[in-house]
């Protein structure tokens, strides 16, 4: 459907010139310019309204007044014709099963389509029904999700599956309030389930859709702001053709993923380019407006790879499980600590001393030997820089006396447990040698 990771959307290099330099006919109805201008004016007014704390009723009115019915018909007709001809064959599109659509939408958050496909197919093979997902051990669900990241999505999905079993007999509900009540289901996911699975006229506005609508209607709204999403949801709802919500919402997403891409929009192949107000104004590369997010905070961490020298534990490595709550909850990792600053992280003498003290504070006595690898992992708000040290236990109690969340594992157990990507790579390199 779409790629949502930064830079993940397919990039189409066509139509690199401004619209007035493109060699193609322009077929504009007499109302197209006025509709585009009306929405542009509405967008400007909403920006002002946001600054002056205008009420939601006023914002809604501005959006509704800017929608021209003939433009809506043009947009819907052309988009549906294009989608039914060009849509990709994706596994979650082969049925209207709401469970399939729900899982795919959760997986596609922050993740590229091509990455999701094999995960989706394996997940469905392992948990073919809502009931089987609800009943599965959480460790199995996390393992199936391993590599997709944002593991709270998997936990919320399973928690919501249990809600569906308990409240709806294992059948994904079609009632709007019931869908919104599911854990981890927000406006976009709810709209996708209701529209795609049940053909209900609900908007499903993701980044691709916001980009398409911002360009088509030449809107100056900052799509990073929640108020803008509300306006675009109202606008998208007004554009849904009667009886075609499922295909229309998927078509909007598909257009943003394949044609109306972030950096190189393929204007010449766009089915609605003739009335695209942003293209006609020469702004297709400027839009959408999006304020820059705060960069993730850099965090420097020191990890240890402790291979057992005990004959009874030969070939095993010491690992630990994260706490039941918080970041990467209950996943497995190499023992590691946060360095107080980059200087200590970079200095071998200072880093070794810090590792000894910080790990001893949680009951693990080690002797670091030397740095052997570095890796990075980017979360939404954090950027981990991990330096891996080889180390040995500082005493002979290798099979006992460890903190309760620690254990020794071999290569077989490594494959059975769920790991954050950074530690899966580091340990995979070790066991793969």
- Indicate whether 231 pLDDT > 60: yes
Lowest mean pLDDT among 278-292, 320-334, 400-414: 400-414
For residue 28, pLDDT over 60 is answered with no
pLDDT for 215:
97
Catalytic residues, by residue number, are: 105
393 falls in which pLDDT band (50, 70, 90)? Answer: confident
pLDDT of the residue at 12: 31
Find the mean pLDDT for residues 26-46.
Answer: 36
Lowest mean pLDDT among 5-9, 182-186, 281-285: 5-9
Average pLDDT, stretch 348-358?
96
**Bond from prior residue into 336 cis (ω within 30 degrees of 0):** no
- Report yes or no: 42 and 66 within 8 Å, Cβ to Cβ: yes
Residue 70 burial (CB count, 10 A)? 13
For all residues of the chain together, what is the average pLDDT? 85
Picking from 191, 286, 283, 292, the residue whose alpha carbon sits closest to that of residue 232 is 191
Quick one: pLDDT at residue 380? 85
Q: Write out the two tokens for 422.
A: 């950074």
Does the pLDDT value for residue 331 go beyond 50? Answer: yes
pLDDT, position 293: 85
Q: Which of 11-25, 129-143, 264-278 has the lowest mean pLDDT?
A: 11-25
Q: Each residue of 249-263: b (16+ CB within 10 Å) or e?
A: bbbbbbbbbbbbbbe
Give the model's confidence band at 433: pLDDT under 50 very low, under 70 low, under 90 confident, else very high: low
Mean pLDDT of 201-213: 96
Q: What is the pLDDT of residues 73-83, one digit of tens each?
A: 999 999 999 99
Confidence band (pLDDT; 50, 70, 90) for 339?
A: very high
pLDDT at 32: 34
C-alpha–C-alpha distance, residues 176 and 179, integer Å? 5
β pairing state of 382-393 and 366-378? antiparallel
Q: How far apart are CA 407 and CA 364, in angstroms?
A: 12
How many other β-carbons are positioned within 10 Å of the β-carbon of residue 149?
A: 21
Token pair of 83 as six digits: 């989608």
| Residue among 303, 282, 271, 318 nearest 389 (CA) | 303
% of residues, the chain, pLDDT over 70: 82
Q: Please give the span between the terminal C-alpha atoms of the chain, in angstroms, as a whole number.
A: 38
With 50 as the cut, is the pLDDT of residue 63 above it?
no
* pLDDT tens-digit series, residues 306-315: 987 665 667 7
Task: Summarize the confidence of residues 51-73 as an average pLDDT.
Answer: 54
8 Å CB contact between 260 and 270: yes
pLDDT at 262: 94
In the structure, what pLDDT confidence band is assigned to residue 29 with cuts at 50, 70 and 90? very low
Asked if residue 68 has pLDDT above 90, the reply is: no
Q: Look up residue 182 and give its two tokens.
A: 């599911």
- Measured CA to CA in angstroms, residue 249 lies from 84, 151, 203, 204, 208 at distances of 12, 27, 7, 6, 11
pTM of the shown model: 0.78
């Amino acid at each position: 459907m779409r790629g949502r990771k930064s830079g993940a959307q397919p990039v189409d290099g066509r139509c690199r010139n401004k619209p007035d330099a493109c060699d193609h006919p322009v077929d504009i109805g007499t109302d197209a310019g006025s509709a585009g201008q009306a929405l542009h004016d509405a967008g400007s007014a909403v920006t002002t309204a946001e600054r002056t704390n205008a009420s939601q009723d006023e914002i809604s009115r501005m959006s509704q007044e800017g929608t021209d019915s003939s433009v809506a018909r043009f947009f819907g007709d052309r988009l549906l014709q294009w989608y039914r001809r060009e849509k990709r064959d994706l596994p979650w599109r082969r049925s209207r099963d709401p469970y399939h659509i729900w899982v795919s939408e959760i997986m596609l958050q922050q993740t590229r389509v091509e990455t999701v496909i094999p995960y989706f197919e394996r997940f469905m093979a392992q948990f073919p029904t809502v009931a089987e997902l609800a009943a599965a051990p959480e460790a199995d669900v996390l393992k199936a999700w391993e590599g997709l990241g944002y593991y709270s999505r998997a936990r919320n999905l399973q928690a919501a599956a249990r809600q569906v079993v308990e409240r709806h007999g294992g059948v994904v509900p079609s009632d709007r309030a019931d869908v919104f009540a599911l854990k981890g289901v927000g406006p976009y996911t709810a709209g996708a389930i209701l529209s795609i699975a049940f053909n209900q006229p609900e908007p499903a506005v993701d980044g691709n859709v916001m980009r398409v609508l911002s360009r088509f209607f030449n809107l100056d709204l900052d799509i990073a702001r929640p108020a803008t999403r509300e306006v675009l949801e109202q606008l998208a709802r007004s554009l849904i053709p009667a009886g075609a919500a499922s295909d229309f919402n998927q078509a909007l997403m598909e257009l943003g993923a394949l044609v109306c891409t972030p950096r190189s929009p393929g204007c010449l192949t766009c089915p609605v380019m003739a009335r695209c107000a942003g293209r006609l104004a020469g702004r297709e590369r400027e839009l959408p407006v999006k304020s820059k997010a705060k960069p993730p905070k850099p965090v420097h961490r020191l990890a240890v790879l402790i291979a057992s020298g005990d004959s009874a534990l030969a070939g095993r490595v010491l690992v630990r499980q994260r706490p039941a709550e918080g970041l990467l909850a209950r996943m497995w990792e190499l023992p590691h600590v946060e360095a107080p600053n980059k200087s200590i992280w970079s200095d071998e003498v200072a880093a070794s001393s810090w590792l000894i003290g910080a790990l001893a504070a949680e009951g693990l006595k080690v002797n670091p030997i030397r740095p052997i690898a570095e890796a990075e992992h980017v979360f939404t708000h954090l950027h981990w820089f991990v330096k891996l040290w080889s180390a040995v236990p500082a005493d002979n109690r290798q099979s006992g006396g460890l903190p309760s969340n620690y254990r020794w594992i071999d290569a077989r157990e490594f494959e059975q447990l769920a790991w954050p990507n950074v530690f899966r790579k580091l340990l995979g390199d070790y066991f793969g040698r």
